[in-house]
């Protein structure tokens, strides 16, 4: 897939068409200005092989996205070529000669000099090229690209356990990260190779012994068959890894060669809060993976319009409380504390968003760092009024809130101009509003049903719509709200008050679904995603589609995906290709297009047969497919004529089976 | 002005006691005895679970309306009483923070609703009714419709425990001056 930007360029060289591979001679030199940071200089000559090295004028020399033409003396120069991977390809094409490809291993600031020798074409020779185009047919694939949350129960440790090779050092790294606790950096190294090991793709599925027999003379040993026509081999080291790769590429029936690389899990911080393992709602929506990107920021202000707060709860101690205010009856304007004696609703909502994390106590809030603005608009004993909610929204906006959570509702048939205007005021100032959809098993209530508010329904721990959750065209997303009918453990766990004592309890309701989305919005802010419309769009398009395909009234756009949201992993950013079953050809890549809110990638010109469609989002943007990215593949039978539709779910790389990881790694680099 | 009171557990905090309140509570109690306990006995079993559809109501409700002499402006006290019907604690589920509602209807049309303009949290909650415990919910109506216009003539007052499923008391007819 040569058009993949910044992708590693360890090319799969179709063996046919390569006339001659030439060694690259490295000469230190200076020609004018030194290459800039991240670039190298390339000079050389193109000569005719077998003709006394006669220079070839007018040869087109390409490397990366740059190209130049050789002069009358055959010389060419590209002074500032961006380094794009450990290995890069130089291609030379000239009329009357077979094209040639040279592999180089540039480093920033380096000056390289190469000599490219081209063989003259013989009669009937079409010249070939370093990239023979795939055969064309009339078939097409329409891939519906969608994201899925991490499977429940997976963790960084679990994902690491599926890795091949070199897991020891990964385990030490993970231990260090766990000891560090609140590490917020995403650690990912995938450049180191496993010495002496290579992933080789062949042109068909062969039994391991047959491959062994084929390559016996070359001293290559097949370690295992990874999947289909991919094999892990051990090869004796040559003068350099490049030389070894070239030698392996020339073995019989080999299609592609890639070094086996060490991989490490994305540093997913696991907080030491003792009840974290009971917070099933957080892994359900990929929160721990999002923590590998950001754990929040005190600069982000979340207004909780609710029954007030109990700031003395031990798991809220240390949370930055700002600008509290009361608009409900029975207390002064500055007294935002909850008047509850049993079940402090506001404290539970705030705990989901912001309970102190990694403090060896209680639960972990979605944001390890954030500022909470408690705005009391309801009494736990006597409820609240729409007028108080409107005042609370206005207060929150005018006092610096970035996002407002409203786990409350009133009948949508009651149209209040005052509160509608405050909602629109907030939206016009870029404040994100989130509200629970309501628990009536009916139509979405207000304020959630207002167009400027993100309406959040509830699912249980099995991603099924909760029995009570409202539905309708106004529903935007679903998030964990719990279902305690069978077990209290299936509720959402958070900070609470019971009989005057601070405790932790399980509850159910869209009241507890909404703060999950609010918490994610706060994480997005801390990750630099601050435009309200972009936030809303990302939440929608990165959600895990549940229920009927695409938007539906029961699940809206789907189950929110925290990691996809904070990494801006919109499915239309995916690269999608189709590989022939024998791996000999790859069509694409293409980007999906938005169709009715769904991301659909159409790859055309396919020959009939069973193929593999695959996709990749470089969520950890380093140009390499691996931990932290979204990826997936699916089998498809392409007809003689016309399109075939296929569902292409993309999951976090770490959660994919090892066999899929190996196949994807090989396919994506073609 | 409205309050939620458990009669046996504690005295109402803000409602003044006078002979009229005692009369009302007594009347509600009598209604509970006739309707609630009778219904429980008629069902032949004690229901202690949540009020899921298909089960006998675990709680019986009754409504009374009493004019209040509070000066020139008319005031009417609505009292909804709820009592467990059996010999064990009744557990009732509410879908949100609202537990009761009062509606005034005239000529078949709703003209006033207590919950209009009110906001409730969206947490599922369960309340327990020990046997024999009467819980009352009260609201005061000012005799005006939702638009604030004085109402005259005859109206029907409806009181409902907004549980899941809802439990509606028998409506009370009120003749306004």
What digits encode the pLDDT tens for the residues A466-483?
999 999 999 999 999 999
Dist. CA B57–CA B170, nearest whole Å: 15
- Whether chain A has a CB inside 8 Å of the CB on B4: the answer is yes
pLDDT band at A16 (very low <50, low <70, confident <90, very high): very low
The size of the A-B interface in CB pairs under 8 A is: 81
Q: What is the pLDDT of residue A102?
A: 78
Q: Is this structure's pTM higher than 0.80?
A: no
**What's the sign of the alpha-carbon dihedral A327, A332, A337, A339?**
negative
Give the residue-averaged pLDDT of A149-174: 42
In the predicted model, is pLDDT for residue A21 greater than 50? Answer: no
pLDDT at A162 over 50: no
Q: Is A338 on the interface with B (CB under 8 A)?
A: no
**Which residue in B51, B123, B138 has the most chain A C-beta atoms within 10 A of its own C-beta, making it the best mutation to test that interface?**
B123
Name, in order, each residue with C-beta under 8 angstroms of A124's C-beta and a sequence gap of 6 or more: none
pLDDT tier, A187 (very low <50, low <70, confident <90, very high otherwise): very low
- How many Å lie between the alpha carbon of B126 and the closest alpha carbon of chain A? 11
Rounded to 10°, the helix A417-428/A386-398 angle is: 20
Give residue-wise pLDDT tens across range A67-105.
899 998 999 999 999 998 767 888 898 988 888 877 787
3-state class (DSSP) for residue A463: coil
ipTM of the complex: 0.76
Query: Mean pLDDT, to the nearest integer, of A240-265?
Result: 71
pLDDT score for A99 = 81
Domains parsed from chain A with CATH numbers: 24-118 (2.60.40.1120), 138-148+569-668 (2.60.40.1120), 193-261 (3.30.70.80), 276-560 (3.40.50.200)
DSSP labels, A466-488:
PTT--BSTT--EEEE----SS-G
What is d(CA A418, CA A416) in angstroms, rounded to the nearest whole number? 6
Domain that holds residue B120: 2-176
Predicted pLDDT of residue B80 = 98
A406-410, A459-463, A584-588, B152-156: which has the minimum mean pLDDT?
A584-588
**A47-61, A348-362, B46-60, range with the lowest pLDDT:** B46-60
Rg (Cα) of chain B, in Å, rounded?
16
CB atoms within 10 A of CB B131: 15
Please state the domain count of chain B.
1
Give the least confident one: A50-64, A463-477, A628-642, B46-60: B46-60
Q: How many CB atoms lie within 10 A of CB A635?
A: 10
Give me chain A's average pLDDT, please. Answer: 83
The number of beta carbons lying within 10 Å of the beta carbon of residue A95 is 10
Q: Is A407 in Cβ contact with B122 (below 8 Å)?
A: yes
pLDDT level of residue B48 (50, 70, 90 thresholds) = very low
Closest CA to B66 of B3, B24, B18, B16: B24
Q: What is the pLDDT of residue A120?
A: 81
pLDDT for res B26: 56
Across A315-327, b (16+ Cβ under 10 Å) vs e yields: bbeebebebbbbb
Residue bearing tokens 């019986």: B60
Closest residue in A to B121 (Cα) is A408
Tens digits of residue pLDDT in A420-458: 999 999 999 999 999 999 999 999 999 999 999 999 999
* pLDDT-derived band at A557, boundaries 50, 70, 90: very high
- Touching check for A411 and chain B: CB below 8 Å? yes
Helix, strand, or coil (residue A226): strand
- Per the structure block, which two tokens stand in for A199? 């992933």
Test B117 with A384 for CB contact under 8 angstroms: no
The minimal CB distance from B121 to the residues A387, A407, A508 is found for A407
Nearest to B119 among A343, A378, A509 (CB): A378
Total count of residues recorded for chain A: 670
pLDDT at residue A511 tops 60: yes
Domain with residue B59: its CATH number is 2.60.40.2360
Q: Give the pLDDT confidence score for residue A51 in this predicted structure.
A: 62
Tell me the per-residue pLDDT of B95-115, one tens digit each, with 9 for 90 and over: 999 999 999 999 999 999 999
How many Å apart are CA A319 and CA B27, to the nearest integer?
52
Is pLDDT at B5 greater than 70 in this prediction?
no
Q: How confident is the model at residue A52 (pLDDT cuts 50, 70, 90)?
A: confident
The residue that leads in pLDDT, A668 or A213, is A213
Return the HEC string of B132-165: CCEEEEEEEECCECCCCCECCEEEEEEEEECECC
């Amino acid at each position: 897939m040569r058009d993949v930007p910044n992708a590693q360029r360890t090319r799969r060289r179709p063996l046919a068409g390569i006339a001659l591979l030439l060694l690259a001679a490295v000469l230190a030199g200076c020609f004018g200005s030194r290459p800039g940071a991240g670039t190298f200089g390339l000079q050389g000559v193109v000569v005719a092989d077998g003709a006394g090295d006669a220079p070839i004028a007018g040869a087109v020399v390409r490397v990366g996205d740059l190209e130049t033409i050789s002069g009358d003396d055959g010389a060419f120069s590209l002074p500032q070529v961006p380094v794009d991977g450990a290995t890069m390809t130089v291609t030379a094409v000239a009329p009357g000669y077979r094209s040639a490809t040279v592999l180089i291993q540039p480093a920033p600031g380096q000056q390289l000099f190469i000599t490219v020798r081209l063989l003259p074409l013989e009669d009937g020779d079409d010249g070939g090229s370093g990239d023979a185009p795939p055969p064309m047919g009339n078939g097409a694939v329409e891939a519906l690209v969608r994201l899925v949350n991490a499977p429940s129960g997976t963790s960084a440790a679990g994902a690491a356990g599926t890795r091949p090779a070199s897991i020891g050092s990964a385990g030490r790294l993970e231990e260090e990260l766990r000891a560090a606790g609140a590490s917020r950096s995403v650690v990912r190294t995938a450049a180191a190779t496993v010495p002496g090991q290579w992933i080789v793709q062949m042109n068909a599925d062969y039994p391991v012994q047959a491959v062994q027999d084929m390559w016996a003379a070359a001293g290559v040993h097949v370690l295992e068959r990874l999947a289909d026509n991919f094999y892990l081999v051990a090869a004796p080291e040559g003068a350099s890894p490049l030389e070894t790769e070239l030698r392996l590429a020339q073995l019989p029936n080999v299609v592609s060669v890639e070094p086996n690389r060490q991989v490490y899990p994305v540093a997913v911080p696991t907080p030491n809060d003792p009840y974290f393992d009971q917070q099933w709602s957080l892994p359900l929506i990929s929160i721990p993976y999002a923590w590998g990107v950001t754990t929040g920021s005190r600069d982000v202000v979340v207004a909780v319009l609710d029954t007030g707060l109990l700031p003395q709860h031990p798991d809220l101690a240390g949370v930055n409380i700002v600008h509290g205010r009361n608009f409900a009856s029975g207390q002064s304007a500055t007294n935002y504390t909850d008047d509850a004696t049993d079940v402090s609703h506001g404290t539970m909502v705030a705990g989901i968003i912001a309970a102190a994390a990694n403090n060896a106590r209680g639960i972990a809030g979605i944001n390890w760092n954030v500022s909470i603005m408690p705005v009391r608009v309801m009494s736990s004993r006597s409820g609240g009024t729409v007028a108080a909610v409107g005042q609370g929204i206005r207060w929150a906006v005018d006092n610096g809130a970035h996002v407002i959570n409203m786990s409350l509702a009133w009948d949508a048939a009651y149209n209040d101009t005052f509160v509608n205007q405050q909602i629109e005021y907030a939206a016009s100032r870029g404040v994100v509003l989130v509200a629970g959809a309501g628990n009536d098993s009916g139509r979405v209530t207000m304020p959630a049903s207002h167009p400027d508010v993100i309406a959040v329904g509830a699912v249980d721990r099995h991603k099924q719509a909760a029995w009570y959750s409202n539905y309708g065209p106004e529903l935007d997303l679903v998030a964990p709200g719990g279902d305690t009918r069978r077990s209290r453990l299936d509720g959402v766990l958070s900070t609470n008050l019971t009989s005057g004592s601070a405790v932790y309890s399980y509850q159910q309701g869209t009241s507890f679904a909404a703060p999950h989305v609010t918490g994610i919005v706060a994480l997005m802010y801390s990750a630099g995603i601050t435009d309200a419309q972009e936030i809303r769009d990302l939440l929608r398009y990165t959600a895990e589609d549940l229920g009927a395909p695409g938007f539906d009234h029961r699940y809206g756009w789907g189950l929110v995906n925290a990691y996809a949201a904070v990494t801006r992993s919109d499915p239309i950013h995916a690269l999608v290709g189709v590989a022939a079953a024998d791996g000999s050809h790859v069509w694409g890549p293409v980007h999906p297009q938005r169709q009715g809110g769904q991301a659909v990638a159409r790859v055309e010109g396919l020959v009939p047969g069973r193929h593999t469609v695959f996709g990749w989002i470089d969520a950890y943007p380093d140009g390499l497919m691996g931990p932290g990215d979204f990826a997936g593949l699916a089998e498809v039978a392409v007809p003689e004529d016309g399109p075939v539709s296929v569902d292409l779910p993309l999951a976090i790389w770490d959660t994919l089976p090892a066999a899929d990881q190996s196949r994807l790694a090989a396919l994506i680099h073609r | 002005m409205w309050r939620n009171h458990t009669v046996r557990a504690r005295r109402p905090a803000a409602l003044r006691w006078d002979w009229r309140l005692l009369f009302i509570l007594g009347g509600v109690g009598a209604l509970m005895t006739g309707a609630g306990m009778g219904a429980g006995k008629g069902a032949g079993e004690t229901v202690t679970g949540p009020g899921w559809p298909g089960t006998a109501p675990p709680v019986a409700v009754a409504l009374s309306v009493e004019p209040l002499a509070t000066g020139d402006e008319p005031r009417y006290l609505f009292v909804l009483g709820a009592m467990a019907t059996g010999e064990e604690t009744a557990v009732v589920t509410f879908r949100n923070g609202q537990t009761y509602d009062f509606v005034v209807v005239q000529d078949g049309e709703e003209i006033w609703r207590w919950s209009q303009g009110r906001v409730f949290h969206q947490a599922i909650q369960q309340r327990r009714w020990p046997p024999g415990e009467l819980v009352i919910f009260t609201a005061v109506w000012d005799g005006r419709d939702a638009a604030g216009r004085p109402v005259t003539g005859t109206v029907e007052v409806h009181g409902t425990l907004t549980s899941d499923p809802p439990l509606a008391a028998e409506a009370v007819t009120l003749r306004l001056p």
